[in-house]
Structure 1
Amino acid sequence: MSPSAVSATPPQAVVPENPNLIADAVKQKLASATPSLAALDASKLTRTRTTTPRTVPALDDPIRNVSSFATDHMITCTWNVNSGWGVPELKPYGPFSIMPTASVLHYATECFEGLKCYRGYDGKVRLFRPDCNAKRLLMSSARIALPTFDTVEIEKLITELVAVDAAKFLPKSDAGKFLYLRPTLIGTQAELGVQTPKEAMLFIIATYMPELSETPGGMKLLASQNDTVRAWPGGFGFAKVGANYGPSLMAQQEARRLGFNQVLWLLGDEAQVTEAGASNFFTVMRTKGEGKLQLITAPLGSKVILDGVTRRSVIQLVKERLSQKGELEAIEVVERQYTMAEIVEASEEGRLVECFACGTAFFVAPVSKIHFRGVDIDVPMAQGEVGDYTNVIKNWLVDIMYGREDHPWGVVVEEKEV
């Protein structure tokens, strides 16, 4: 058994009836910030510019497609249990040092976010709903006993990195392109033992990333088998922690070996539909009998599903813009548990309209095929390469992200001179 896994003198605990211990613990941690400890404060940011600037790769350079080429700078900030948050630093991108006994290397005390900054067609750089990413990072951090923070300060630090590096690595000539941003929080306490980390580090980096939403012929999904599950009720599927991703890679590798793009993750004997790879999943189909058109996605209540920023935005836009008949038939948004049996039946009865996956990486990606228990389900795509609803939703989001539509979700960043 791991060191510190068992206390010699365990505390006497009073467990309430029908306890919801994890949810209560997360709420308590979020509400129990110690006033005497230093808070995360972006106004204290120190700035050390690089003296060895990197060469910007050409648009056709393959390095842009492997997510390993970072911009000139990164932001870091340390935390410890006795003093709280230290002074955040903007400094040259490069390696940092942690001890081999660091908590993150043994106990998965790590969470992160993924968002992008976009070079608009009007020349401006925008972030898309960074407040949502900051709030989710806070929830993820609390879920794995890492320190809490004011989410506004995280937003400010993300914005500062973009302000410093976007002009060079995402110039105005790159309208319609983006950089990927990765805020990450790790436990760094150099001590073995299953325990809450007493030291942690926040870092924020920016890299290039390939365009993953353009999948010729649509995404092909392999439904997971009964012996494999991505997340489960009461677990941590709702949090963006590294432990959600590593265990899924073997199934993803097998899916790609068989010619599929991603795994469609199912849950339980009923084969409940949850997520597609690391993305949220939506199904458009008609109800039995009355033929009412619905946009269906799995609910957040069981904490199996990640509260994706793109997912949230899709739901809000559809409710606002497609609740009444216009160029497209009105559609109702339904967040509920649903199963592969429903998709199979809808396909057989001609009620399946389209499916798509969405997230920061894959953005909004149409699905053309689902392989489930030996059967291929062909998913309609009304426009050949994409469905009608998938296409209009994707275009709405693109317009906001790249400044074609003036919208509060598109947050303009004031850039620093190179």
Structure 2
Amino acid sequence: MAPSAVASTVHAGEQDLDLTSSALDHRSAENGQSNGSTNGSNAPPSSNGQDNGVAQPNVHQLDASKITYTFTKEPRDVPPPGVHSIDGATICTDHMITVAWSARSGWKTPELRPYGPLSLMPTASVLHYATECFEGLKAYRGFDGKLRLFRPDCNAARFLMSSVRISLPSFTPAEVEKLLLALMAVDGPKWLSRERPGSFMYLRPTMIGTQSQLGVQAPSEALLYIIASYMPVMDSPVGGMKLHTSPDDMVRAWVGGFGYAKVGANYGPSLLATQEARARGFGQILWLYSSEGYCTEAGASNFFVLWKSKEGKTQLITAPLDDRLILDGVTRRSVLQLARERLGDEIEVVERKYTIQEVMEANSEGRLIESFAAGTAYFVCPVSLIHHRGKDVEIPMGKAGEGGPYTLKLKDWLKDIMYGNVEHPWGVVVQEER
């Protein structure tokens, strides 16, 4: 449906109040998207060779099957276990994948090529208007010798949502998943060798607006690229993660904003408060929202609390997604699914707004059981303390001091899937190049 046709469905005198959802629907229509499929273009029909949302032959979809391979002639050394950066620079694998896009012709041919610098004009859209989004997922070398990605379909789908939210091009998520598998098929055998079972790498698909024209507008050129790097283990800080609640004069995200999208603009503004919290001995900020002090996220991770309700029910509680304030984390989603499937007889899983005052009240009444943060980087990380306005909330860490029993149980279940201790559809096996 063309934008004019969409607009005509709104009756005279009515006002469309849900502008974000409408804009996303309109963008899907412009892209010829139907039931989740896209034709890979981003511009209005008048400028991209489409007519009323019907793809034209000269506008190409993202097609992973056309990938070309240019292998490095200068292979990099694999660092010793535990080394993830050198002189402050992240260590990446030998290769990367790049795919250019333009509004006129759609997606160009994907290329696996040597890892190296990107070339951008100083007027590139990403440098001035934050037209950038990314994803984060891990590849795991299983104890059974196989290489796996964990739920890459979820990351690819969220990548599409983030891209469209900031007027970057759309694509079929399954094609991005295929590109992720292609990169790890080539670099996985060397960088996550079978001699290192239980190790992982971090994959970062990224999209940037590259059009070299100043002016606040949706970019007509973009670049998708995928890199793979090493990352430190962050899920087991000594004594558990300590959180400092956010200051009154700063919020991470807001209702009606873009906290639910994985865009760079969500992160830069949060670093000042995070740096200050770490200088005071805390690991991350527990981001609160509104005058009510709703608990949202712990740093860039989703935040969970286990407590006894006033009625005596054991509950696993986390912030909801319906107000689009927080990120729909893949680890979050997996934790909730496993808790409902395997712990449904023991705990009630609740997704609702809840305040820091509720957490403090549960603590003072002896109802607070345990807490953890969940995300790709921090995995499932037990929280031992929350500092809020001069008061400390100490959270039980279990008998061994490594996390509460539910936290560790959920963490172990996820590890078993990621590292191949159990067969599960969430663990997608990479067909490695020999």
1:222 — aligned with what?
244
Matched-pair contact (CA < 8 Å) for 1:65–1:208: no
Give the Å deviation of 1:387.
Answer: 0.5
Give me the TM-score of the superposition, normalised by structure 1. 0.93
The answer to whether 1:411 aligns with 2:432 is no
How many angstroms apart in 2 are the aligned matches of 1:408 and 1:64? 36
Matched-pair contact (CA < 8 Å) for 2:84–2:90: no
2:340 — aligned with what?
319
- Of the three residues 254, 261, 264, the one matched with 1:232 is 254
Q: Structure 2 matches for 1:16-415, cutoff 5 A? A: 16-17=14-15, 19-34=17-32, 35-36=55-56, 37-61=59-83, 63=85, 68-288=90-310, 290-324=311-345, 330-383=346-399, 384-415=401-432
Give per-residue Cα distances to partners, 1:188-225, cap 9 Å, x unaligned: 00000100000000000000000011111000000001
Give me the TM-score of the superposition, normalised by structure 2. 0.90
How many angstroms apart in 2 are the aligned matches of 1:354 and 1:304? 24
Q: Which amino acid aligns with 1:323?
A: G
- Equivalent position SS for 1:312: helix
Give per-residue Cα distances to partners, 1:340-367, cap 9 Å, x unaligned: 0100000000000011000000000000
- Equivalent position SS for 1:275: strand
Give the Å deviation of 1:96.
Answer: 1.5
Larger RCO (CA under 8 A, 6+ residues apart)? 1
- Equivalent position SS for 1:173: coil
Sort the Cα spacing of 1:166 and 1:62 in 2 relative to 1 into closer, same or farther, 3 A.
Answer: closer
Matched-pair contact (CA < 8 Å) for 1:65–1:210: no
Give per-residue Cα distances to partners, 1:22-62, cap 9 Å, x unaligned: 11111221343151210000011000000000011111546
Give the Å deviation of 1:64.
Answer: 7.6
Give per-residue Cα distances to partners, 1:85-107, cap 9 Å, x unaligned: 00110000001201000000000
- What fraction of aligned residue pairs are identical, expressed as a percent? 60
How many angstroms apart in 2 are the aligned matches of 1:61 and 1:274? 32
Matched-pair contact (CA < 8 Å) for 2:84–2:231: no
How many angstroms apart in 2 are the aligned matches of 1:128 and 1:64? 27
Matched-pair contact (CA < 8 Å) for 1:71–1:165: yes
Matched-pair contact (CA < 8 Å) for 1:237–1:305: yes
Give the Å deviation of 1:69.
Answer: 0.5
Alignment RMSD (CA, Å)? 1.4
Sort the Cα spacing of 1:185 and 1:60 in 2 relative to 1 into closer, same or farther, 3 A.
Answer: closer
2:45 — aligned with what?
none
Sort the Cα spacing of 1:65 and 1:298 in 2 relative to 1 into closer, same or farther, 3 A.
Answer: farther
How many angstroms apart in 1 are the aligned matches of 2:300 and 2:277? 14
Q: Which runs of 5+ in 2 are unaligned?
A: 1-9, 33-54
How many angstroms apart in 1 are the aligned matches of 2:19 and 2:266? 20
How many angstroms apart in 1 are the aligned matches of 2:186 and 2:105? 29
Q: Which runs of 5+ in 1 are unaligned?
A: 1-12, 325-329
How many angstroms apart in 2 are the aligned matches of 1:242 and 1:139? 14
1:7 — aligned with what?
none
1:8 — aligned with what?
none
- Equivalent position SS for 2:195: helix
